[in-house]
Amino acid sequence: MQELTIPICQLDSLKELNLSYCSTLRELPNDPMGKLNVLQCLDLFACFGLNELLAVTIGQLNMLEKLDMYGCSRLQKLFKSNEQLIVLKKFNLHGCIRFQNLPTSIGLVCTLHIFNLSNCIELSLLQEFDLSRYFKLVNLPISNCELNSLQIFNCQNVTD
């Protein structure tokens, strides 16, 4: 499956969308995803063909609490803005080996509990990342990332 062919916009009460192991999925539909107003969990675990998530696709999901892209090895970039992701709690990019940079607006999401950047080995473009707004953050795996600077202030709960 390279793209979703079901009329996903008609599932307006959908709270969880699990597309794990859709290894040939290349993109998510733009407009229909924004109509999933109550979607809380988007699981893209091991969607190896996915290389980009667009702002129209993800940025409008204002109830999204979990965005899991573990193992999306072709993913290079995310949406440019995530201003609507105000309740995001888990953001997993583990194993996104081609992922290059985070949207600058990720710093506006203060609800994150888990933020995983492990094995994002091309994340060298991220030169400075300030976590001072993440009061609830408890887990921050960043192994195998080539960060030049990482500021961690007021994150009393961070354990990893």
**pLDDT tens by residue, 40-96:** 999 999 998 888 776 556 767 889 899 999 999 988 877 665 556 778 889 898 998
Q: Which residues pair with 41 in a beta bridge?
A: 16, 66
13 CB-near residues (< 8 Å, 6+ apart): 38
Question: For residue range 85-131, what is the model confidence (pLDDT) as tens digits?
Answer: 778 889 898 998 888 777 666 656 667 788 888 888 887 555 555 66
Pair of tokens at residue 69: 């892209």
Sort strands 114-116 and 90-92 into parallel, antiparallel or unpaired. parallel
Domain count, the chain: 1
- CATH number, domain containing residue 112: 3.80.10.10
User: What domain range is 65 assigned to?
Assistant: 1-160
Q: Which residues pair with 98 in a beta bridge?
A: none
